[in-house]
């Protein structure tokens, strides 16, 4: 791994803007990117055994089993040891995933530099997700009950993952309200300061 390789977890509730901002960060900094949600949707669309085993969880707005998601990320990390940096989007989502992730990164001579949390008000999240459902046809964005369940799961299972990284002083909270470009500007400041600290 290059000494200045930057590894960032992009964290936040469903609808916080992780996917949108990850795309922009990729373009600007040349980072590689994995969205576990996206990989799962691809597996489901391809009709693979892995996809079939996760379909029910996703359609109910529940989390996929830790073991399956951890294996997906382990596979990604092994293939991306030589990049300038990585964005992990939608992972880790449970404390078990965070613990396994540390082992995976260690094993590959890498480390998470920072968890960047995108913070946005709940009603704004629901509004954005329903709109995304209308525009993309994404099944888990099209039903308000499923959206509310994902937000509930986020508060119950995922929010605590930030505490895991707080212990080692690796959390940075960014205001996720405002335009895409405003939020991107704030994110770039955070990424620049991580990059500068590694020089």
Q: Which tokens hold the place of 107?
A: 């094993």
Give min distance, CB of 118 to ligand ADP, in A: 10
Give min distance, CB of 132 to ligand ADP, in A: 8
Number of residues that bind ligand ADP (CB under 6 A): 20
Q: Does 29 bind ligand ADP (CB under 6 A)?
A: no
Which strands form 6-11's sheet, in the order they lie side by side? 32-35, 85-89, 6-11, 114-119, 171-175
> Which phi and psi angles does 132 have, rounded to 5°?
-60, -40
Q: Does 14 bind ligand ADP (CB under 6 A)?
A: yes
Contact pattern from residue 140 through residue 159 relative to ligand ADP, giving x for each residue in contact according to CB under 6 A and a dash for the rest: x---------x---------
Q: Does 63 bind ligand ADP (CB under 6 A)?
A: yes
Q: Does 76 bind ligand ADP (CB under 6 A)?
A: no
Contact 35, 66 (CB under 8 A): no
Contact 64, 155 (CB under 8 A): no
Give min distance, CB of 55 to ligand ADP, in A: 10
Q: Which tokens hold the place of 172?
A: 């940075």
Q: Give the span between the Cα atoms of 132 and 172, in whole angstroms.
A: 26
Q: Does 90 bind ligand ADP (CB under 6 A)?
A: yes
Instruction: Characterise 95 by phi-psi region: left (phi > 0), alpha (psi -120 to 50), beta (else).
Output: alpha
Give min distance, CB of 156 to ligand ADP, in A: 13
CB atoms within 10 A of CB 4: 12
Residue nearest ligand ADP by beta-carbon distance: 37
Q: Does 93 bind ligand ADP (CB under 6 A)?
A: yes
Binding site for ligand ADP (CB under 6 A): 14-15, 35-38, 40, 57-58, 61-64, 69, 90-91, 93, 97, 140, 150
């Amino acid at each position: 791994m290059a000494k200045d390789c930057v590894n960032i977890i992009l964290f936040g509730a469903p609808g916080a803007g992780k996917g949108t901002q990850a795309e922009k960060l990729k373009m600007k900094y040349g980072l590689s990117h994995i969205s576990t949600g996206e990989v799962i949707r691809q597996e489901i669309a391809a009709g693979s055994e892995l996809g079939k085993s996760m379909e029910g969880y996703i359609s109910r707005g529940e989390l996929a089993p830790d073991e399956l998601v951890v294996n997906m990320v382990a596979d990604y990390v092994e293939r991306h040891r030589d990049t300038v940096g990585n964005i992990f989007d939608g992972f880790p989502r449970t404390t078990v995933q965070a613990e396994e992730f540390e082992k995976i990164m260690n094993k590959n001579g890498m480390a998470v530099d920072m968890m960047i949390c995108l913070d946005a008000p709940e009603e704004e999240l629901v509004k954005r997700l329903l709109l995304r459902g209308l525009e993309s046809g994404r099944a888990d964005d099209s039903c308000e009950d499923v959206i509310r369940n994902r937000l509930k799961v986020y508060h119950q299972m995922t929010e605590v993952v930030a505490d895991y990284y707080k212990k080692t002083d690796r959390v940075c909270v960014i205001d996720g309200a405002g335009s895409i470009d405003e939020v991107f500007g704030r994110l770039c400041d955070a990424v620049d300061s991580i990059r500068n600290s590694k020089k």
